[in-house]
Structure 1
Amino acid sequence: MASRSHKLAVIGAAHADHVEESFALDPAIQRAQAEDDADRELGIPAILAKYWRPCLICSVSFTAGLVFGYDVTVNGASISMPAFLLYFGDMNASGPYLPSLWTSLWTAMSSLMQAIGAIIAGWISARLGRKWPACAGACLTLVGTAIQYIATARGTLLAGKMVSGLGIGCLYSIATTYAGEVAPLRLRAPIQTWLVAFVIMTQAVCLGVIRAYVPDIDESAFRFVFALQWAVGGIAVIAWAFAPESPVYLITRGKTEAARSVMRRIYGNSNETDDRLACLINDIEMEQASQEDNGSYAACFSGPHLKRTLTIALLFSLTNASGAAFLSQNIYFLITAGLEAIHAFDIGIGGFGLALLIIAASGMYLKHFTRRNVILTGLVINFVFMVIIGALYWVPGEGALWAIAVLMNVLISLTTSTLQAAAWPVAAEIPSYHLRAKSMSLGIFTQTLTSWLFIFITPYMYNVDTGNLGARTGFIYAGTTLLLGAGAFWLVPDTTGLTTPEVDAAYAAQIPPRKFQTFVANTFRIEEGKV
C-alpha cells in the first residue's frame, strides 16, 4: 500500500536533492492523512458537525468581510445621497453634481490605501503573527471613521477614507491568510466563500441603511451612515483580540509547544489533534527543505512560485478588471442618467439579495461543476451582459434605463457568486505554506490596486463632464473580460480537495494548471501493490 504522502516525498526529492529519510512518516502523520482522506467524502453538514470548533474560530475572519463590505458600499453609494450631494457637491443648471475628480478620489483612494495596507500586512504578519496585526488594522479603521464623521471639507473626508483603507487592507489580507491556515482541508474553500458572502451581506445592509436616509437632506443623514463603520470596526477589534494565533505562523517561527496549545484550542484536546499537528509540522518542514529562498516577497516572483503569484493576482483582479467599478457605481450612474434615486437604491438592494441566494446555492452547483469551470462561465456571462448594457445606450425611453438597472444588478449577483465566491477560494489554496502570508498579501494588493485603478478611471468614462460614454462603458469592460478569459483558461487550476503539498507537487512538476486534478489522481492514487 502506497500512501499519498510517500509519493509526495518522492516527488519532493526529485526537485530537492536534500530531502532525505527524515521525512519518513510516523504513524501519527499517517493517521492524520487518513483522516483528511476520509473528510473528503463528507458533505458540508457532516463536516460542520465534526469541525464546529475550528469553523467557529475561523469565523473571526468574517469580520474582515463586514468591514470591507461596508466600506466598499459606503464609498460607492453615499455619494448618491441627496444630502451628500448638497453638502460636498457643486451646482449647475441641472442641479447638484459631484466633480469627476472628487468622485474618483473618494471612491478610489481607499482602494489604493488598501493595496498599501495589504503589502505592509504581509511583511508584519510574517514577523509578528496574524492575530495582533489584524487587530491593529481594525483599530485603524476606527480612526479613519472618526475623521470621516467630522469632515467638513472634501480633503478631510478623503483623508479619513484613506486611513480607513489602510486598516482594511491590513485586516482583509490577514483574514484570508488566517482562514486558510486554521480551517480543516474540507472547509478551506467553503470558508473563503462564506467570507465573500459576509461582504455581500454587509453591502446589502449598508445599501438598505443609505436608502432609508435618501429622503433626508440634512447632513446628519450621511454622517450617520459613516458612523455605523464604528460598529463593524469595533466587532472586528473585539473578535481578533480573543482569537488564537495561527498555528502555521507558530510552527514556522519554531514555537512548537505554542502551536500545540493553539491546535488543542482549535480542534480540542485529543490524540487526533496531536496527529494533525504532527502532519502540519511535517508538511511545513518538507516544504522548507525543498525551498532555496528565504520566504521573502522576491521569492514569490522566482521559480515555480512566479506562476502561482500571477495566478493569485489574476484571480483577485477578475471582478475589478471585468467591470466591478462600473457596477458598484450603478446607483450614481443611473441617477445621473435619469432614474429616480429611490428606484435605483431599491433595485440595488434586490441585486445584493439575489447574490446572497446564489452564493447559498453554490454548495449545490459546485458539487457538479468545478470552481475553474464556474470562473470561466462567469466570465462568459459577464461578457454577454456588458455587450447588452452597452447596446442599450441607443435604445430611447425610460424602459431602457430600467433594463440597464436590472441587468447591472443581476450581473453584480452573478459575478459575485462566480468571479468572487469561486475565484477567491482557489487563490487561497494556491500558495505554499512558507509564502502563504506574502502571497495572499500580494493577492489582496492586486485586488485593491485594480479596484483603485478602475474605480478612479470609470467615472471619467461615463460622466457627462468627461468621457460621456454612459452605458457604452459596458463595451470597454466586455473587451477586458475577453483578455481575462484567456488568462484564466491557461492559468487557473481546479484545487478542489487538493492539499498544499499536492499543489506544490503539481507546480513543481510543471503540470498545466487545467490538468492538476488528473495529475494528482494519477500520481497519488492509493492502490494495492503500487507506489
Structure 2
Amino acid sequence: MKDELEKQEASSATMIENVANDSDLQFGEGLVENDRDSSLWASAMSHKLILAHSIAAFLAGGVFGYDSVINGASISMPAFLLYFGEHTATGSLFVPSIWASMWTAMSYLLQAIGGFGIGFVSDRIGRKWACVGAACISVVGVGVQFAATSRGMLLGGKMINGLAIGCIFASATSWASEISPLRLRGPIQSGIVLFMVLMQALGLVTIRLYIENISPSAFRSVFALQWIWPVAAGLAFTVMPESPIFLVQKGKITAAKKALTRLYGSNNHIDARLAVLCKQVEQERSQAEGHGNAGYLELFQGTNFKRTFTVLWLFLAAGLNGASLLSQNTYFLIIAGLPAVHAFDVGIGGFGLAIIAIVFSWFYMEKFGRRSIWLAGVAINILVLAIIGSLYYLKSNGSLWAVAILMNALIAWQLLTITSIGWVITAEVSSYRLRAKTQSIGVISNATVTWLFTFTVPYMYNTDAGNLGSRAGFVFMGSSVLLLIGSWFLVPDLHGFTTDEVDWLYSQNIPVRNFQQYADGRAKQGATMRTVATGKC
C-alpha cells in the first residue's frame, strides 16, 4: 500500500511539473501581479463567480454563528429556565453552574475534536465532501437538542452538533482560502465572519421573539430553526467545485482545470492560472521532500513552528480577551438584575453594530493593515474591560445599563478588530501543503480555548459560585495585557504577499513587525530565487 502511494505521488509530481513548465506560466504570474495591484472593487468585479461560490463557505459560518449564540443565550429564556433550571431559596430561577458550563464547554470541546479529525479526512476526500458530511452530522445533533427532555440528552445533542461544527468550519475556511484570488483573500474570510455574526444576530432576534412564551415550544422552536443552516450549507457544497489546490495535490490536473473554469469562467486564462497553481504546489512538494506525507507533527517543525504557533496565539485570544464572558452577557445581565427583554434588545443592537463594522472592515483592512488593527483592538479591549470591572462598585440601575452597553459594544469591537482579523491571518499564514491541517489547528485552538474559558467563566460571576459580577472584567483585563505583549512578537501583516512569498519571509526569520517592509519587491525576488534554487521552475 505504501509503495502504491509513493508511486501515485511520484506520478502526480511529474504531471504537475509538466504543467508548471508550460509557456502559460509567465502569463499566469502576470495575472497574479495584476490581482495584487488591483483595487478591491475591481477584483470583486473580475471574480464575481468566485464570490458567488463563496456563499457555501458563508453558510458554514452561519452554522457556527447560530449555534454559538443559542448555545449561550437560550439558557436565558424563561421557558428554558422553567424546564431545565432550578429555584433559589428566594424563588428565582437559575441554571446550576455545572450545567451552564457543560452545555457550552462540551460543545466547544467536541468542536476541537472535530477540527482535529477533519484535517485527515479533508486531505483524503477533499474539502467539499468533508463539509457535506459534517452538515449531515449537524442535522442529527440539532434533532437531538430539539427532542431533548433531560439535561443529559440536551448535552448529548450539543456535543454531536459541536463535533459537526468543528468539522465544517475548518473545512469550509480552508476551501474558501484555496479558491480565493490574492486580493479577495481577506474579504472572503471576513465574509465568513460576517455571516457568522449575522446568524448570531438572527439567533438573538429569534430568542427575543419567544422570550415571553413560557411553554417548552418556545426554546424548541429556537432549536428547530437551527436545521435551516446545516441543510443549506450541505446542499450548497454538493454543487460547489472541489478546491483546485487539493485536486492538483492529488495529481488530478484535468479535474483541477474544470474546477478553475467553474470558478473563473472559461474565458479567463484557465491554462495560465493552472500553470501557476501547479508550480506553487510542486515547489512546496520539492521543499518538503524528506518529510513524507503532510502530518500534524510537521506543523511544529522548522519554520512551520512559528507559523503554527501564530495560529494558536490568534485563537488563544478568544479566551484571553474576555470573549467567553461577553458571549454569556445576556444571562449574566439578567441575573445581575436587568430585565430579560432589555438584555436581549441591547444584545441585538450590539450585533447590528458589529455587522456594519465588519462590512466597513473590507475597505480599511488593507489601508491600516492587519497587524495594526489587531494591536489597536487588543489595546482598546484592555481599557473597556477595566471600565466594566470598575462599574461593579457603582450600585445603580444606570451602572447596570452602562455594563450592558459596554459589553455589547465590546463584542462588536472584538469581532471587528480581533475575530475577523484572526481568521484572515490564519488563512494567509499557512502553506498550501499544510493549509487544511493549519485551518484545523485554528478550529482546535479556538474551540479548546473557548471550552476552557466557558467552563470556568460561569464560576466567576454566577450567584452560586464566585459571584464576581462585572468585576470579572478585571480578570480579562489582565489576560488581555498578556495578549497584547505576545501579539507584538507574533502577529504579522501578510496583505499582498503570495503563499510562496510568505514561505520566504518565514524562512528568513524576519521579525513579523517588519514584514510589510518587504512588500517593495524584495519578498517577490527572494521567493523567485528560492524557487530557482530548488530547480523546479
Deviates more, 1:287-296 or 1:345-354: 287-296
Please name the residue that 1:370 is paired with: 369
For the structure 1 residues 271 and 470, does the alpha-carbon distance in structure 2 shift closer, same or farther, using more than 3 Å as the test? closer
Please name the residue that 1:133 is paired with: 130
Measured in 2, the distance between the counterparts of 1:253 and 1:23 equals 14
1:396 counterpart SS class:
coil
Please name the residue that 1:422 is paired with: 421
Alpha carbons 1:138, 1:233 under 8 Å: kept: yes
What letter is aligned with 2:497? L
Measured in 2, the distance between the counterparts of 1:524 and 1:433 equals 18
Measured in 2, the distance between the counterparts of 1:419 and 1:243 equals 30
Q: Does 2:391 match 1:395? A: no
Give the superposition deviation at 1:255. 1.1
1:395-474 matches, cutoff 5 A = 395-474=394-473
Deviates more, 1:368-377 or 1:270-279: 270-279
Alignment deviations for residues 18-54 of structure 1 (CA, whole Å, 9 cap, x no partner)? xxx9999654122112112112232222211110011
Measured in 2, the distance between the counterparts of 1:53 and 1:418 equals 28
Please name the residue that 1:252 is paired with: 249
Alpha carbons 1:355, 1:417 under 8 Å: kept: yes
Measured in 2, the distance between the counterparts of 1:63 and 1:472 equals 37
What letter is aligned with 1:302? Q
Alpha carbons 2:19, 2:278 under 8 Å: kept: no
What letter is aligned with 1:363? W
Alpha carbons 2:57, 2:172 under 8 Å: kept: yes
Q: Does 2:53 match 1:57? A: yes
Measured in 1, the distance between the counterparts of 2:243 and 2:19 equals 23
Please name the residue that 1:87 is paired with: 83
What letter is aligned with 2:412? S
Measured in 1, the distance between the counterparts of 2:217 and 2:173 equals 35
What letter is aligned with 2:129? W
Q: Does 2:476 match 1:480? A: no
Select the residue among 17, 30, 34 that pairs with 1:34: 30
Alpha carbons 2:61, 2:195 under 8 Å: kept: yes
CA RMSD, Structure 1 to Structure 2 (Å): 1.7
What letter is aligned with 2:469? G
Measured in 2, the distance between the counterparts of 1:174 and 1:525 equals 29
Measured in 1, the distance between the counterparts of 2:380 and 2:268 equals 48
Alignment deviations for residues 190-229 of structure 1 (CA, whole Å, 9 cap, x no partner)? 0000110000011001100100110000010000000011
Select the residue among 72, 76, 95 that pairs with 1:76: 72
Measured in 2, the distance between the counterparts of 1:34 and 1:59 equals 28
Give the superposition deviation at 1:321. 2.4
Alpha carbons 1:313, 1:446 under 8 Å: kept: yes
For the structure 1 residues 23 and 512, does the alpha-carbon distance in structure 2 shift closer, same or farther, using more than 3 Å as the test? farther
Alpha carbons 1:63, 1:235 under 8 Å: kept: yes
Alpha carbons 2:315, 2:449 under 8 Å: kept: no
Alpha carbons 2:501, 2:524 under 8 Å: kept: no
Alignment deviations for residues 411-462 of structure 1 (CA, whole Å, 9 cap, x no partner)? 0000100001222101110001110000110111001111111111100011
TM-score, length-scaled by structure 1: 0.93
What letter is aligned with 2:513? R
Please name the residue that 2:100 is paired with: 103
What are the ranges of 5 or more consecutive residues in structure 2 without an aligned counterpart? Answer: 1-16, 533-537
1:302-341 matches, cutoff 5 A = 302-341=301-340
Please name the residue that 2:39 is paired with: 43
Alignment deviations for residues 231-278 of structure 1 (CA, whole Å, 9 cap, x no partner)? 111101111111111111111111111111111111122361110011
Alpha carbons 1:316, 1:427 under 8 Å: kept: no
Please name the residue that 1:495 is paired with: 494
Q: Does 2:127 match 1:149? A: no
Please name the residue that 1:13 is paired with: none
Measured in 1, the distance between the counterparts of 2:332 and 2:524 equals 54
What letter is aligned with 1:91? H
For the structure 1 residues 48 and 426, does the alpha-carbon distance in structure 2 shift closer, same or farther, using more than 3 Å as the test? same
Measured in 1, the distance between the counterparts of 2:389 and 2:22 equals 61
Measured in 2, the distance between the counterparts of 1:22 and 1:523 equals 28
What are the ranges of 5 or more consecutive residues in structure 1 without an aligned counterpart? Answer: 1-20
Alpha carbons 1:392, 1:404 under 8 Å: kept: yes
Alpha carbons 2:137, 2:161 under 8 Å: kept: yes
2:395 counterpart SS class:
coil
2:323 counterpart SS class:
helix
Give the superposition deviation at 1:477. 0.5
Alpha carbons 1:23, 1:286 under 8 Å: kept: no
What letter is aligned with 1:80? S
Q: Figure out how many residues of one structure are paired with residues of the other and give that number.
A: 509
Alpha carbons 1:385, 1:407 under 8 Å: kept: yes
1:228 counterpart SS class:
helix
Give the superposition deviation at 1:366. 2.3
Alpha carbons 1:72, 1:203 under 8 Å: kept: yes
TM-score, length-scaled by structure 2: 0.92
What letter is aligned with 1:308? R
Select the residue among 282, 287, 292 that pairs with 1:290: 287
For the structure 1 residues 316 and 377, does the alpha-carbon distance in structure 2 shift closer, same or farther, using more than 3 Å as the test? same
Please name the residue that 1:348 is paired with: 347
What letter is aligned with 1:333? F
Give the superposition deviation at 1:63. 1.2
Measured in 2, the distance between the counterparts of 1:397 and 1:204 equals 28
Measured in 1, the distance between the counterparts of 2:261 and 2:230 equals 29
Give the superposition deviation at 1:470. 0.7
For the structure 1 residues 508 and 25, does the alpha-carbon distance in structure 2 shift closer, same or farther, using more than 3 Å as the test? farther
Measured in 2, the distance between the counterparts of 1:482 and 1:271 equals 48
